[in-house]
């Protein structure tokens, strides 16, 4: 297992701006890796679940790899790929009375929260930050979008070579469709593979167990 972990953290992938993201940055973080396609029928529901996971589990890192190998259900132009993926992930913000804050201004209500217990204060502050992030049209910082790649064949990306080696599929190990999901624990060990139609939600037992001692969920 130690070698498997080392192999995972030795991986890297290219971001849309051409810079290289090293997986060594993911140490001590559970990781969910997904091959996405914005034109796929599974996109709307899956992106909704991704946003909920990112907001609920702050320490979770969600790595999105756009791919057009399945019926060309992703944009061909790299710029459009990133733009459409971000658009699919943006949350709608409908409170027209909420004023936009400068980056250096304290979040609304933060002073009043300081009298609460530290954990409660952090949770509520995070919630305010989430609202600000949504209004500004940004995606949660724990979602990372990469350049469009290939998940099978002679040009298979090394990340998916690793994933399909260590997390087997039904009948054969090759990624079969868009939105196949791979969960890696905080030690870099592959934990579970989810099929395209198999949702990963905030109530997933395996993910909940990974965060059982740390997560504070949004208030209903």
The answer to whether 63 and 33 are in contact (CB under 8 A) is: yes
Helix 2-9 vs helix 158-166: angle between axes, to the nearest 10 degrees? 160
Q: Is 67 a catalytic residue?
A: no
How far is the C-alpha of 131 from the C-alpha of 126, rounded, in Å? 9
Closest by CA position to 168, among listed 197, 194, 140, 200:
194
Give me the catalytic one of 40, 62, 143, 184: 40
How far is the C-alpha of 57 from the C-alpha of 217, rounded, in Å? 8
> What SS3 state is found at 110?
helix
Catalytic residues: 40
């Amino acid at each position: 297992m130690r070698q498997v972990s080392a192999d995972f953290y030795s991986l890297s992938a290219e971001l849309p701006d051409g810079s290289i993201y090293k997986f060594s940055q993911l140490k001590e973080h559970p990781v969910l890796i997904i091959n996405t396609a914005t034109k796929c029928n599974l996109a709307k529901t899956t992106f909704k679940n991704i946003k909920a996971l990112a907001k609920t589990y702050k320490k979770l890192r969600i790595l999105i790899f756009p791919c057009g190998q399945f019926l060309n259900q992703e944009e061909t132009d790299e710029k459009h790929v990133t733009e459409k993926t971000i658009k699919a992930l943006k949350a709608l913000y409908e409170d027209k009375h909420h004023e936009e804050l400068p980056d250096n201004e304290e979040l609304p209500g933060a002073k009043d929260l300081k009298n609460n217990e530290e954990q409660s204060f952090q949770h509520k502050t995070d919630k305010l930050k989430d609202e600000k992030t949504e209004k500004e049209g940004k995606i949660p910082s724990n979602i990372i979008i990469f350049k469009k790649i290939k998940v099978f064949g002679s040009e298979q990306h090394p990340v998916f070579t690793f994933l399909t080696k260590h997390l087997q599929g039904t009948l054969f190990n090759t990624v079969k469709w868009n939105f196949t999901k791979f969960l890696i624990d905080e030690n870099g060990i592959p934990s579970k593979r989810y099929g395209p139609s198999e949702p990963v939600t905030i109530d997933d037992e395996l993910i909940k167990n990974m965060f059982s001692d740390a997560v504070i969920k949004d208030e209903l």
